[in-house]
Structure 1
Amino acid sequence: MSMKLIVDSGSDLPKDLLKKYDIDLASLIVHLNGEDYHDRESIDSQAVYEAMRQGSAPKTAQASPDTFYHLFKQYTDQDQPIIYLAFSSELSGTYQSAMIAKQQIEDQNPDAEIYVIDTRAASMGHGLIAYYTAQAIADGQAVQDVLDTAHYYVNHMVHVFTVDDLEYLQRGGRVSKAQAFVGGMLKIKPLLHVEDGKLVPLEKIRGSKKVIGRMVDLMKERGQHFEQQTIAITHGDDEQRAQQLANQIRELYNPKDIIIHQIGSAIGAHAGPGTIALFFLDDAPKN
């Protein structure tokens, strides 16, 4: 029996790809205006962005061990191997929740095959790892080959992103209040990336037009073989700028495909509206 692939809502994987590859989704929790919601189930990111523009400060919580226990068990009861690709453990406790559930099930059923991988990625960086892994499963690869494929993309995924307002990152503790204030006054747009699963400042750019150009330049500096790659761009309710970035990338690098998708509630609650994120590989896709 082929492996069952599971991701969480921190992957921002589009619904059509979830459906195409029969991928299950574990929802993170969004706290907004005194209510708890399940990301992509009982709330969508558009509602979160509108609330943030009105001054709300949503927070998020990891998916619970109980969520993973019931999700995993329905497949292990049928002796089906599971691979769960987790949102970076440096950004969420969701990976640890899955590990707790894995241990509970293995204590009851030592033959259960549950593979939990920390993608050290977020948004469609995480989503692209799942996308390539899903293709390996669909191709009928053996379990170990699928795991090797997943680890390859974990080790070669590049994230580059910018936010429209440093205040949102300040709320989440990613920058200081002073940095947010000065950045806002000077119209500085930070470029960040993900390093070992953590958000790390990369550069400061003055002006939103320049920051898109710099993201395109960073592709050339950090990646290669784009004609073989599927590139991903996610945005915080700013499809126009996402399309502008995509158009420049198509013109310069001619990638195999570009996926554009809105950032979900779990990540959008911290990054805020206006975020633009770019994801690509630093090498060719795995053969």
Structure 2
Amino acid sequence: MSKIALVTDSAAYVPSDILEKYGITVVPLSVNFGNDSFREGMDISSDQFYERLVKEKSLPTTSQPAVGEFVQTFEKLLKTHDSVLAVLLSSGMSGTANSAETAARMVGGDIAIIDSKITAWGQYALVLEAAKLRDEGLSKGEIVDRLTAMRDKVGAYFVVDSLEHLHRGGRVSGISAMLGSLLQVKPILRVTDGKLEMFEKVRTRKKALARVIELVKAEIPAGEQLVASIVYADNREDGEALRAQVQEALPDAELQTSQLGPVVGTHTGPGLLAVIYYTR
């Protein structure tokens, strides 16, 4: 068994085959519809979530793992490993990493917490890189250094279908939400220093997606390759169509598609499309 145990949370949306292959432990966040609470990736699937989301009158809420869940996870893993490395959801979006830091102090032992400063596929890319580096024999300190450098190259642009969920979640003003609905404005959000922020407002969805491709293309340093995932919510066909557009604009890019899960989807709503990427 490896000397380094790897931990992440459910907002990384790591595929089950990757979890099994590399022995990665997931601590789930939860999504709550009224009095019904579901652990992400365990009690509710992404498709089930989006089906229920469009039927609900009230916006669901989300909750981070309790400190005790991390304490139990770390204590269990340290019985069979020398150290623990946890790559977690951006602290600018959730208190998950802070809970893990508290748990690490309570448990003691060799535990490193990495704030991914991203979510979804961007967080997954860091987790996967950590697993590969561990299996190559790098030390925990070396892996942390490599992930920190990689994290600085990760970026993300999100196009939301409606301002409604951002407004109901307190992200934009009521006037902005109303005008966005009337004018069919499609907001482009960007992850900046770990926080999801309004970047631009574009009049149509088609123009917003074209603008995202333009923005991503401009951020690729000379001589580097784009590695990215087109992230979709409940609209796989739209995700595949955007992937084809990005591939046409950037023939050398390494692309895939992935689905956004319940916790992040609660705040962005159905219809979302995003490009999450890094360069190498």
Q: TM-score category by the smaller chain?
A: over 0.9
In structure 2, list runs of 5 or more residues that go unmatched: none
For residues 80-108 of structure 1, what are the alpha-carbon distances to aligned partners after superposition, in whole Å with 9 as ceiling and x for unaligned?
211101101111111111111101111xx
Shift of 1:258: 2.0
Q: Which residue of 1 aligns with 2:44?
A: 43
Rounded to whole Å, the distance in 1 between the matches of 2:35 and 2:27 is 22
Task: Check conservation: 1:11, 1:124, Cα contact below 8 A.
Answer: yes
* TM-score scaled by length of structure 2: 0.94
For residues 209-234 of structure 1, what are the alpha-carbon distances to aligned partners after superposition, in whole Å with 9 as ceiling and x for unaligned?
11111111111111246974431121
Structure 1 residue 118 corresponds to structure 2 residue 120: no
Change (3 A) 1:252 1:224: farther
Alignment length (residue pairs): 278
Shift of 1:17: 2.4
Q: How does 1:177-192 map to 2 (within 5 A)?
A: 177-192=174-189
Paired AA for residue 34 in structure 1: N
Paired AA for residue 241 in structure 1: D
For residues 25-82 of structure 1, what are the alpha-carbon distances to aligned partners after superposition, in whole Å with 9 as ceiling and x for unaligned?
1100111132111111111222221222113411001111111111111111224211
Rounded to whole Å, the distance in 2 between the matches of 1:255 and 1:99 is 39
User: Taking every aligned residue pair, what percent have the same amino acid on both sides?
Assistant: 29
Q: Which residue of 2 aligns with 1:273?
A: 270
Task: Check conservation: 1:231, 1:255, Cα contact below 8 A.
Answer: no
Q: How does 1:49-198 map to 2 (within 5 A)?
A: 49-54=50-55, 55-106=57-108, 112-198=109-195
For residues 225-249 of structure 1, what are the alpha-carbon distances to aligned partners after superposition, in whole Å with 9 as ceiling and x for unaligned?
6974431121111111111111122
Q: How does 1:196-235 map to 2 (within 5 A)?
A: 196-224=193-221, 228-235=225-232
Change (3 A) 1:2 1:247: farther
Change (3 A) 1:126 1:113: same
Rounded to whole Å, the distance in 2 between the matches of 1:89 and 1:9 is 14
Q: How does 1:250-269 map to 2 (within 5 A)?
A: 250-255=247-252, 257-269=254-266
Find the residue that maps to 2:152 and give its secondary structure.
helix
Segment of structure 1 superposing worse, 224-233 or 42-51: 224-233
Change (3 A) 1:9 1:78: same
Rounded to whole Å, the distance in 2 between the matches of 1:209 and 1:87 is 30
Q: Which residue of 1 aligns with 2:235?
A: 238
Rounded to whole Å, the distance in 1 between the matches of 2:46 and 2:113 is 26
In structure 1, list runs of 5 or more residues that go unmatched: 107-111
Task: Check conservation: 2:85, 2:140, Cα contact below 8 A.
Answer: no
Find the residue that maps to 1:156 and give its secondary structure.
coil
Change (3 A) 1:32 1:226: farther
Q: Which residue of 2 aligns with 1:20?
A: 21
Task: Check conservation: 2:220, 2:226, Cα contact below 8 A.
Answer: no
Task: Check conservation: 2:86, 2:112, Cα contact below 8 A.
Answer: yes
Paired AA for residue 75 in structure 2: K
Paired AA for residue 16 in structure 1: D
Paired AA for residue 80 in structure 1: D
Q: Which residue of 2 aligns with 1:109?
A: none
